[in-house]
Structure 1
């Protein structure tokens, strides 16, 4: 079981200016981050994370492609249609005999009243999906075999 130090979730929101001029909000950008430590060498973690696929109904995390030597891009399926754009990244950082995995999701919603009310629930759902995926990945890497919910 991971401690609170292993996982930290940070949320941030930012308004972007549209091309139509200052003061016009085109989308609201939110970021969810999580870090977890896996007691396995970076090479082993890298091979496992490239093949990782998490299924946490109704959402699923699928690795899409490799962006750099230590960063992978992924998608979360099953998200509501109010999301305008979504990008997920997993970055690996070696630390002694283990590896830190830094998971992040950056998504934007349309600037509607419904989206504004729904955004905290959406962030919480994405954070829960990341926690479950990180827990499942850590269990798989540490040889437990079980994938806790």
Structure 2
């Protein structure tokens, strides 16, 4: 049986590959990002940030990075929809670092926007092509039921 688990740190090479796969779907903006954000720049920027990895049967498939203000999540495309069992543990981890976290979601990403809204996290700002959501444990909702601290 295949098993999902958290790793102590995200494999930044795998995380980078997951991000690049996402950028390939974003048209002109994605092309700009793919040429601007090199693997070296990415690892230099996020290398010192706290992170956790997502693994499937011991193989790195993505993870969550916290840059001190924002949480970033990326998963290899072939594991989309298969890593959700790690979400609650990932949230527990990131909320142990900070109780109020902003997340930028592309305004043209209706799946992620709907996810943020389902979890009760409010949109607090718009920054260009991004909607900024505020995540807190107090507003966290799962299957329509608010979860208190």
TM-score surpassing 0.5?
no
TM-score, normalised by the number of residues in structure 1: 0.29
**Which protein has the bigger strand share?**
1
**Which protein has the bigger helix share?**
2
Higher relative contact order (CA 8 A, sep 6+): 1
